[in-house]
Amino acid sequence: MSMSARQDDATAATARVLAHHLAAFADGVPAILSDYAEHAVVITPDGVHRGPVQISGFFDAFLRGVSGAFWEAFRIDRQIVEGEVAYLVWSAPPFVAMATDTLVVRDGRIVIQSFTSLSA
């Protein structure tokens, strides 16, 4: 398989994981966690969340902190998937003026995610 074909396969696999990850928010924390490798880390301005227990706590707090109005306002402003990396710019005005997520996907699971948001 050529380098270009491997890159295309990785991009397609990453896009599939990203699509599932975004849809999983409607189904709750267990569905979200199903996208993460056992050794995954989520890096935020508040620190590093390592492994399923800490990542679960991070997403549980996030989901408890948002309302239906947040989800109605949520929109993806930019999405780039290249190889093992997915990059999102999103907003949910007036709750979040802008946020970014960068995910690294290997073997069908998120291994690293960084997240930052700016309040409106």
**How do residues 67-95 score in pLDDT, each as one tens digit?**
999 999 999 999 999 999 999 999 999 99
Q: How far is the C-alpha of 112 from the C-alpha of 74, rounded, in Å? A: 23
The model carries a pTM of 0.90
Upstream peptide bond of 45 is cis (omega within 30 degrees of 0): no
Among residues of the chain, what percentage have pLDDT more than 90?
91
Residue 119: how many other CB atoms lie within 10 Å:
9
Report the pLDDT value the prediction gives residue 80, as an integer from 0 to 100: 98
Average pLDDT over residues 36-55: 97
Could you give the CA distance from residue 109 to residue 111 in angstroms, rounded to a whole number?
A: 6
Residue 44, pLDDT > 80, answer yes
Q: Which phi and psi (to 5°) does residue 2 adopt?
A: -75, 160
Structure tokens at 2: 């050529």
Label residue 3 by pLDDT band (50, 70, 90).
low
